[in-house]
Structure 1
Amino acid sequence: MDVDAFVLAHRDTWDRLEDLIRRRRRLTGAEADELVDLYQRVSTHLSMVRSSAGDSALVGRLSTLVARARAAVTGAHAPLRREFVRFWTVSFPVVAYRARYWWLGTTAAFFAVAILIAVWVSHNPDVQAAIGTPAEIAQIVDHDFESYYSDHPAGLFALQVWTNNAWLAVICVAFSVLLGLPIPYVLFLNAANLGVMAGLMAGAGKTSFMLGLLIPHGLLELSAVFLAAAVGMRLGWSVIAPGDRPRVQVLAEQGRAVVAVAAGLVVMLFISGLLEALVTPSPLPTAMRIAIGVAAEALFIGYIWHFGRRAERAGDSGDLADAPDVVPTG
């Protein structure tokens, strides 16, 4: 099937059905009959696309339209519980899964920068001297780094951590409207900060101590930030290189997908904030704290892989508009 020709031939029909759905409470008798007829025709179009075109974006769009038309014709409304489940088993994981190469690339680039800076700082006394006096550096590595996780009540600290990390993720998502161009700079600043701290700790022989404090919450926390950055940059690239589809259509679809990720990251960052407030400063053995962090990360990656791959194979685009009546917000 020539997807472009098919879209061109039937776009007016889809637009007309969209218009009737929007005005479903004010339709005349003739328009109500037309709504039913168009619903049946577009259902046929959806079956044709699913069987021969393999265009997941077009399938998602027509699935949305058919679902909304069905609700308008039958008067049915999707239960909130069903849409909540769909969000966590389809919308969020499939968008994350489809951005997996951007996600992996972002992760690799971030740690490459952080490691290079850490090595540079740890092996260069002049750089350390430019960062602070020996007394100031000793204060950081011997006291401030650890006390950051334990000097505040756990509940308040969890809220503070969640707010800070959520803000960083929101910045990455928001920069997608600028084609994602500022996102690498934001990531570089954070990688540099991590690299400087890691370099100071390594120079003091406290690398293991630092990792024992960072890994319990940092794996999940950084995964969230990297995912936000990945989908933001992917959105920007899809606008620059939309392929054979209209740029406006690609922007709309990818933009709604970014919203799905943003909603999912709210919960993801809340969990990492709890880990940072409750597990990282806890008196548990370091190995156990690290094991908890690794387990949380493994569960998250497994969740994305399982549900995301399944949804992609089913041709689901992850567009929030796939939900006919209720848009989940996490």
Structure 2
Amino acid sequence: MTAPFSTLSEFRATLAAATGPDMASIAGAKERNGQLTKPPGALGRLEELAIWYAGWRDTDRPSIENPQVIIFAGNHGVCAQGVSAFPPEVTVQMVANFEHGGAAINQLSKAAGASLDVVALDLEAPTQDFTVTAAMTEDEVVQALSAGWAAVDPKADLLVTGEMGIGNTTSAAAVAAAVLGGDAADWTGRGTGVDDEGLARKTDVVARGLALHDTTDPLEALRCLGGRELAAMAGAIAAARHHRIPVILDGFICSAAAATLEMAVEGALDHTVAGHLSAEGAHERLLNAIDKKPILSLGLRLGEGSGGTLAINVLKSAIACHSDMATFAEAGVAAG
């Protein structure tokens, strides 16, 4: 589907025009939840997740039949600063691995019954080094936002966005610091496993990027400090809102991309939940800033949409209980 914007200003307007959840469906789901054969609140957060999901699918008895996982890949000019333990060539190699079914996300998507799409974004042309100039021009960031928007299947009923891009934890740390405040050290972590010297170098790179650019506008922060895959994830999350598709956010990088939407237009992430808390140190801080409570906490730091995809089965279980359990009346059980 062609994106309904061609500038950052138009993208912001698209975010602002998005509709909210269907309150009648939420009310109906809450009523149904109160009639199911269980003590009130006995399924804990599963009940909350089911009601949230129902509101975005416009029915009080939803199902999940067509979840979609999209992995966006991009390369980063800031890698020239030595911020990663791996060379940029790994991005291309991992995209090939995704396409041939050999990565963790392939197995996790299969286990969740989700389709998997891989979108490589101009890998031969990395973004600019954000310590020298803006990572992307406005045209380039809009193209990436549009690619993310177009990758979403309007028939999907759940979306997970993941990423691949050597150097993108540095980019995500810079974006998070720009839109959420704090120092570079608050947001910069070890990513793919850099040593202490590498961490100090990353932190310095993030600090220099923050000092160079005026990122008062969250979407400008995405342009100046982000990467094509971060922008594409933001575009896909926005498209999902347009299509009323609930979203499970992945880890630190996905959450940083998503934060630019929430800080640009309050409520832009109401159709999302956090799939997991990753082992990247600043992820918990980031989730707290965008008011998202993770479903899982398994010490993951892989990226690829792995944590969000793992959470699909939790959400499926929540919906199965909500929509398929008998009510007290149906089961002939006294409600007490």
Normalised by the shorter chain, which TM-score bucket?
under 0.3
Higher helix share: 1
Question: Which protein is richer in strand relative to its size?
Answer: 2
> TM-score of the superposition, structure 1-length normalised?
0.25
Which of the pair has the greater relative contact order for Cα pairs under 8 Å at 6+ separation? 1
- TM-score computed with the length of structure 2 as normaliser: 0.25
